[in-house]
Amino acid sequence: MTITLSTLNARYTHASLGLRYLLANMAELTGQTQIQEFVIGAKTTEIVERLLAKQPRIIGFGVYIWNVEETTRVVAMLKRVAPQVTVVLGGPEVSHETALQEIVRLADYVVTGWGEVTFTALCRQILDGPQPLMKVHAGVQPPLAELQLPYALYSDHDIAHRTLYVEASRGCPFKCEFCLSALDKTAWPFALDTFLAEMEALHARGARLFKFVDRTFNLNIKTSLKIMQFFLDKLAANPDDPVYAHFELVPDHLPDALKEGIAKFPPGALQFEIGIQSFNPTVQALVSRRQDNAKAAENIRWLCEHSHAHLHVDLIAGLPGEDVASFARGFNQLVALQPHEIQFGILKRLRGTPIIRHTETFGMVFDPYPPYTILATDKIDFGTMLRLVRFARYWDLVANSGRFGHTIGTMLGDAPFENFMAFSDWMYGQTDATHRIALDRLAALVTRWLQVQGMAPAAAVALVARDYAGKLDGAAKAAAPQRQARHLAA
């Protein structure tokens, strides 16, 4: 193969949508181009060996915040053992602050921003001349109708074993300063009939798990309803072979027509990711986030009470202007709404995002290495930030995992943030670890904590043991992704 498209995915189950878009738009070079995907943690030597096996002339890498360090090592080794190979970089991590990066220094060329048109043109120049004079090439953004869609490039193996990422639109009209989408001018929709025809083809090939990467799925309600109806029709036609769809929702935009559609989905078929990030209006204003907090809370409550959708709601710690007390109030407010998962994230400084403008004013200190996590602010010192990081990890293990569905309510009591922070501090004192804690050990530690808090030993053992008694049944539970299935068992 003349051209290899490659990336290091965060997990094997993730199939790169970006690489498939590039391949779908290689035009006359398609027959000379292949995809080779790897997973972070693989040995650099083995990656390089496999990349060179078919003697490519060009290797293009998708570079992201989660793989930039390992991809840098791959590129460095490639340029040592096969300097004749031309290395082209693309992806969000190298699209901003480009000149400052070691991986860019090592590579031959970089495509910033949209890559489908510009990467193909660059490959033509590299192969046929004249050779490109510039190292950095700004990606051309074509009308979406001119892009070839990539979904036929998901293999039968991908469909059977991996998450299929799809998008009905690109971009975002909102300007939240911690997000790269703040740089978008708007959201651009793909032609809906064409998109749904591609989804039909995937479903006919056996696809049942669709993860939409659209930033604002419910921005255009008519489009949202048509997409949801597509999945409802599949569910009605094949109730014993259900589909599962994941969407990202704008939290304060849930009109009645959309509620009616959502309410029709059975258990185990629908997941919403909802970004709250902060309930503090002052903090929201600082980061240019427009959000009606009362309406957002009302919508989450409605979804919990009147739909079977699995809710994954995001909060971010470390935003400028927010102290621990403010974050705790928002966390407690969200716990009271009872979503299935609260994703407790720590702010990261993604390259190119406007959040950097607050650095000096709010004493924001970021880790200089990926994923560029906030280390301290003028309101949260380094030690406290590390406590929040540990809280987030233990919260994922105990609450979000669904393994302690009956126990977690007792642990949280009437002061969820404060009580779980106390547990988190105690856990770290007992284990000196936040990872590689076996489930049996975790259950034993939770049981001990309940006793430390005054629960009788027999009652603590019985409460934790109850969380291991539930069994999944039914087609919807069997079809649901593992983490959601555990919630359905509660």
Give the model confidence (pLDDT) of 278-306 as tens digits: 999 999 999 999 999 999 999 999 999 99
Residue 474 has pLDDT above 90, yes or no: no
Statement: residue 369 has pLDDT above 80: yes
CA torsion sign for 320, 321, 324, 325 is negative
Cis peptide before 371 (omega within 30 of 0): yes
Quick check: 489 pLDDT over 50? no
Residue 8: HSE in the Cβ half-sphere, 13 Å Cα cutoff: 23
* Average pLDDT estimate for 445-451: 97
Query: Rounded CA gap, 472 and 485, in Å?
Result: 7
Q: Is the pLDDT of residue 430 over 90?
A: yes
Confidence (pLDDT) at 468: 73
Across the range 410-426, mean pLDDT stands at 98
Q: What is the mean pLDDT of residues 40-48?
A: 98
Q: Specify the DSSP element, H or E, that contains 88.
A: strand 86-90
Record the tokens describing residue 312, joined without a space: 């994954």
Does position 185 have pLDDT exceeding 90, yes or no?
no
Q: Helix 192-204 and helix 221-237: axis angle, to 10°? A: 20
| Structure confidence at residue 483 as a pLDDT band (50, 70, 90) | low
Q: Which residue is listed with tokens 């930030």?
A: 385
Among candidates 289, 311, 257, 274, which has minimal Cα distance to 358?
289
Number of Cβ within a 10 Å radius of residue 368: 8
Are the beta carbons of 150 and 23 closer than 8 angstroms? yes
pLDDT at 478: 40
d(CA 433, CA 301): 35
Q: Is the pLDDT of residue 473 over 50?
A: no
Mean pLDDT of 364-374: 97
Q: Is the pLDDT of residue 186 over 90?
A: no
Per DSSP bridges, beta strands 187-189 and 169-171 are antiparallel
Tens of pLDDT along 6-17?
Answer: 999 999 999 999
Query: Which pLDDT belongs to residue 319?
Result: 98
Contacts of residue 85, defined as CB under 8 A and 6 or more positions apart, other chains included, come to 52, 56, 57, 58, 59, 78
User: Is the pLDDT at 477 greater than 80, yes or no?
Assistant: no
Give the mean model confidence (pLDDT) for residues 210-236.
95
Q: Which pLDDT does position 1 carry in this prediction?
A: 79
Strand order from edge to edge, sheet including 341-346: 164-166, 209-212, 244-249, 270-277, 310-317, 341-346
Residue 481 has pLDDT above 70, yes or no: no
d(Cα 53, Cα 55) in Å, to the nearest integer? 6
The answer on pLDDT for 471 being more than 60 is: no
251 within 8 A of 296, measured Cβ to Cβ = yes
Averaged pLDDT, 135-144: 96
Confidence bin at 479 (pLDDT 50/70/90): very low
Full DSSP string of 370-416: TT-BEEE-SSS-HHHHHHHHHHHHHHIIIIITSTTTTHHHHHHTT-H
Please state the pTM of the whole predicted model: 0.92
Find the range with the poorest average confidence among 60-74, 172-186, 436-450: 172-186
How far apart (Å, rounded) are the C-alpha atoms in residues 45 and 55?
16
Alpha carbon distance 468, 308 (integer Å) = 23
165 pLDDT exceeds 90?
yes
DSSP-derived pairing of the beta strands 58-62 and 136-138: unpaired
% of the chain with per-residue pLDDT over 90: 91
State pLDDT tens for residues 313-366: 999 999 999 999 999 999 999 999 999 999 999 999 999 999 999 999 999 999
pLDDT given for residue 485 in this prediction: 53
Asked if 320 and 287 count as a contact pair (C-beta separation under 8 A), the reply is yes
Contact 378, 363 (CB under 8 A): yes
